[in-house]
Amino acid sequence: MHVFEEDTAEGAVYRPENADIPLSRRPRERLVLESEGRAKIYTQGPDDRYVEQPAAWRDEGDTLVIQAAQGGPVLRIVEWSPTRLVIRPEPAAKS
């Protein structure tokens, strides 16, 4: 779950949903990494309910890269631990 209050110059901070995360009026983006390179990104929809975007992840050595199936920014996990991910968004490649 994106804990935007903890974002730094290094990137956006995500923590597990069961972490002690403060309540927020602003919906928090969620990211789910699954096996075999599958992922899901949950973002705020027009009526504040979450919208699921299928995505894929790949290992690039020192980082994991996540890309939504419908395009959008590339999410690069630049730091990880059991309690914290730091994700640096990058613009989507132009066709």
Residue 95 lies in a domain: no
State how many domains the chain has. 1
CATH number of the domain to which 22 belongs: 2.40.128
pLDDT number for residue 92: 64
Q: Considering only residues 11 and 73, tell me which one the structure prediction assigns the higher pLDDT.
A: 11
Domain range for 77: 4-90
Between these two residues, 91 and 59, which has the higher pLDDT value? Answer: 59
User: pTM to 2 decimals?
Assistant: 0.85
Q: Which residues make Cβ contacts (< 8 Å) with residue 75, sequence separation at least 6? A: 31, 41, 65, 66, 67, 87, 88, 89, 90
* Residue 79 falls inside a structural domain: yes
Residue 91 identity = P
Q: 36: closest CA among 56, 61, 63?
A: 56
Cα–Cα–Cα angle for 84, 29, 5, rounded to 5 degrees: 60
Confidence of residue 15 (pLDDT cuts 50, 70, 90): very high
